[in-house]
Amino acid sequence: MINNFTYNTPTKLVFGSGVIKDLPNVLKEYGNNVLLTYGGGSIKKIGLYDEIKTLLKDFNVYELNGIEPNPKYDPSVLDGARLCRENNIDVILAVGGGSVIDCSKAIAVCALYDGEGWDIISGKVKAKGAIPLVDVLTLAATGSEYDSGAVISNTAINDKRGYGSKYIFPKVSFLDPRYTFSVSKWQTACGTADAINHILEQFFQETPSIINDGLMISVIKSLMANVSVALNEPDNYEARSELMYACSLACNGILSNGCSSSGWPMHSIEHALSAFFDITHGAGLAIITPHWMEEILSDRTLNRFMVLGNELFNIRVNTKEDAKLVIKAFYDFFKGIGISMHLKDLGVDSNKIEEMATHILENDSTVGNYMYVNLDKDALIRILKASM
């Protein structure tokens, strides 16, 4: 069944090899003062920085670089907002992965707010607008290029917040799969795990339909098949193009129009892990996934495992014991693409589990009628312990 829904993604996707040539025309619509934002230097290594500077020779380009993975409110968001105010920035051009785009989204709203920007990101104050944002994506993973979310870390208070607003949809996202040829095996695997998890977060819900299950299963199949190719042949355009498109589709809601809410519990848990230990988002999710599945497996949820087993792994599921084979198949898949399946290997300290569980409940509640399956403190502790 399809529940009532409203779907509106105003972002224009421009996809394919060489599409960046239209960048000056797109930016011109917003003005001449551009804030170019990027990370630690990968865009320089692949020649994209020079390509962009040449394309933007007629614009006034200001720069914010050094945006870190798990982007930080202080200094990146604060510095970016200050640069926007000081230089009358008309448009932000984010070039990079999800962290650069998310940071730029936060800058876009904070620059127009006179108070403490964290009040907006933490949901205390509602944004009233944002500087327009255009991006050039270099890593297939989060879907930030096609959604209205941004995830920002505030190290001073050990917090990592997901912020959503209609103002932060990118105006235009340029998706050229060639820019992802240089993405490391680790980030390729973690990006794919992130996108698969985005779909699983939407798949486990109360009102499945043939349409939604079919869309979601197709995108997971594409991710699973193409990641193996990309890991062996990083410059395989066919594989990189499917990964890029799949990741954009996975997080913007289009796959779950008309579905019931699920609460996105694995993201709630992972954001706490990244807040406390700055781990790579997709790796944290891959590790949590099988243990969350074990936690929620019941007669009520069995039907979801049936579809996944049948469609993805050729496993017929009639009983909970059968469903455990599906859970193991996910575990083996993530391990097979190179993700160590233990949080301790990423530097997570088990002494913090109780504190993290409290943090999750307080900041990102996993109990409520928007959850497919509630996770109380004991459940969160069980999942985290099993993931160590």
- By CB under 6 A, the count of residues binding ligand NZQ is 35
CA torsion 382-383-384-386 (nearest 10°) is: 80
How would you classify residue 155: left for phi > 0, otherwise alpha for psi between -120 and 50, otherwise beta? alpha
Q: Which of 72, 161, 267, 304 binds ligand NZQ (CB under 6 A)?
A: 267
Residue 341 DSSP SS3: coil
Least distance between Zn ion and beta carbon 269 (Å): 11
- Pairing outcome for strands 149-154 and 159-164: antiparallel
For tokens 């709630």, what's the residue? 268
159 binds Zn ion (CB under 5 A): no
Of residues 78 through 117, those in contact with ligand NZQ by CB under 6 A are 96-100, 102
151 binds ligand NZQ (CB under 6 A): yes
Taking the C-alpha atoms of residue 297 and residue 323, their distance in angstroms, rounded to an integer, is 8
Q: Which helix (H) or strand (E) holds 101?
A: helix 98-110
Distance linking the first and last C-alpha atoms of the chain: 38
Q: CB-wise, 141 or 288, nearer to ligand NZQ?
A: 141
Least distance between ligand NZQ and beta carbon 284 (Å): 9
Q: CB-wise, 90 or 102, nearer to Zn ion?
A: 102
Neighbours of 58 (CB within 10 A): 10
Q: CB-wise, 317 or 348, nearer to ligand NZQ?
A: 348
Q: Which helix (H) or strand (E) holds 153?
A: strand 149-154
179 binds ligand NZQ (CB under 6 A): yes
Q: Which of 90, 102, 145, 194 binds Zn ion (CB under 5 A)?
A: 194
Q: Which stretch binds Zn ion (CB under 5 A): 96-104, 189-197, 324-332, 377-385?
A: 189-197
For tokens 């095996």, what's the residue? 185
Residues that bind ligand NZQ (CB under 6 A): 39-42, 46, 69-70, 96-100, 102, 138-139, 141-144, 147, 149-151, 179-180, 182-183, 187, 191, 194, 251, 267, 274, 281-282
Residues that bind Zn ion (CB under 5 A): 194
